[in-house]
Amino acid sequence: MAQIEWSDSMSVKNAVIDTQHKEWIAIYNRLDHVLLHGGSNELFNAVADAFQAMQEYASYHFRQEEQYLKEIHYPDLVTHKRLHTDFDDQLYKYSRQIRNGELILGSEVMSILKNWLLHHIMQEDQKYCVFVSHSES
pTM, rounded to two decimals? 0.88
Give the pLDDT confidence score for residue 40 in this predicted structure: 65
Task: Give the side-chain half-sphere CA count within 13 A for 126.
Answer: 11
Q: Which class would CATH give 14-135?
A: mainly alpha
Give the pLDDT confidence score for residue 41 in this predicted structure: 62
Give the pLDDT confidence score for residue 42 in this predicted structure: 66
> Are 32 and 110 in contact, with CB atoms under 8 Å apart?
yes
**DSSP string of 95-133?**
HHHHHTT-----HHHHHHHHHHHHHIIIIIHHHHHHHHH
Q: pLDDT of 72-102, one tens digit each?
A: 999 999 999 999 999 999 988 988 888 888 8
